[in-house]
Structure 1
Amino acid sequence: MSALPTLGDLAWAPALDHPELLAPSVQDALRAWAAEDARVPGEVAVAEIDPDHADTATLNDVHGLPPEASANCVVVAGRRGDVERIAACVVAATTYADVNTRVRKLLDARKASFLPMDRATAESGMEYGGITPVGLPSGWRVLVDSRFAEPGALALMGSGVRRSKLLMPGELLCAMPGVEVVEGLGVER
């Protein structure tokens, strides 16, 4: 088993040992994933944060975190006719999700746009600023930028709540059940 990942000056601990720092759906998904992958208990970390610092730029600044490790999760809806398709797109904070071209094509949609915040939080069961690819509704696709599959990459992301963050090796995120690793999902700013 690998060592628990750490980053910046946050106090990291095994996520499964701290359910109070996770949204219920995230906790359930981590438990189910751990039953399938022995790496999860020792490689998925959680740290409590000040909810006022949940914004990526603020969190990175306050805690000395590298922006390239921040895995921003945005929820996108695409529509073709009466059929709506939803995807969570995970990209590095140094990039942005190519919603109008790459994501729209992946969703086979005529138009794609960010899911309204109230809908994203209600349907995911997660707090705004804490939405994470772990524990999303089963009908949603989870698209992860291939940068996180690179050796040594870390993925710092929401925990479903604003008062904590998850951290795991990018390789583990890319191996999460249901994840689709996509080349070029994130576009340089």
Structure 2
Amino acid sequence: MRAPIGDFADARPAVDCLDLLPDPVAAAVRAWRGTVPADSFLYVDSDPAVADTSVFVEHHGQELLDASANCVIVAGRRGETTTLAACVVRSATRVDVNGVVRKELGSRRVRFAPADVATGDSGMEYGGITPLGLPDGWPVLVDAPVVDTEWVLVGSGRRRGKLILPGKAFAELPGAVVLEGLGVRPEPAPEQPGVS
């Protein structure tokens, strides 16, 4: 079947591709009980060499920038307590770590989690982390425009392959909190005098 977004000619229901997903992601698809049916989750194959957002959209089309989301793991710290959380924002935006995330987690300090922590604790590969199948108790902060997008392309838990989900499904993830302003557009670089 053809994917509803992107140039992927071979989209398959994720429930038929569980062997291509890491164990926690496959378990989450298998156990899904949201109002958005799990058989609407699609798996598309993709080259792991083009998994990073900028290269991926260059390869598969710029229109995917607003129809894809990044899932980044952050570590919020207050005193001796560290809270790991996932932040899901459209790929054209960046996570407002020091504003929205810090306030939501009630942390004094928030930083991006080190790669070994993000991958080790999630059981997923760096560059492919997805909000499906994250450890119990992790908050999953979702930018509201992601939920309002008809179809959203996101990592599969591995660098190879992507998942395409209805945007509404992100609001039904375990631990999901939908927030306005979580994703912010990057500031354009200031013009350099005398440079053209």
**Coordinate RMSD, CA, aligned:** 1.7
Determine if the alignment matches structure 1 residue 128 to structure 2 residue 161: no
- Alpha-carbon separation, structure 1, partners of 2:99 and 2:76: 11
Determine if the alignment matches structure 1 residue 187 to structure 2 residue 189: no
Determine if the alignment matches structure 1 residue 101 to structure 2 residue 99: yes
Q: Which runs of 5+ in 2 are unaligned?
A: 187-196
- Alpha-carbon separation, structure 1, partners of 2:34 and 2:97: 31
Contact 1:4-1:14 at 8 Å conserved across structures: no
Aligned to 1:165: 162
Aligned to 1:56: 53
Q: TM-score of the superposition, structure 2-length normalised? A: 0.88
Determine if the alignment matches structure 1 residue 72 to structure 2 residue 47: no
Aligned to 1:26: 25
Aligned to 1:12: 11
Q: Of the two, which has the highest radius of gyration?
A: 2
The one-letter code matched in structure 2 to 1:85 is: T
Contact 2:34-2:169 at 8 Å conserved across structures: no
Aligned to 2:146: 148
- Alpha-carbon separation, structure 2, partners of 1:62 and 1:128: 20
Q: CA deviation at 1:70?
A: 1.4
Contact 2:34-2:172 at 8 Å conserved across structures: no
Q: How many residue pairs align between the two structures?
A: 184
Q: CA deviation at 1:153?
A: 2.9
Task: Give percent identity, aligned residues only.
Answer: 47
Which segments of structure 1 move beyond 3 Å, counting only runs of 4 or more?
none
- Alpha-carbon separation, structure 2, partners of 1:39 and 1:95: 25
- Alpha-carbon separation, structure 1, partners of 2:59 and 2:38: 27
Q: Which runs of 5+ in 1 are unaligned?
A: none
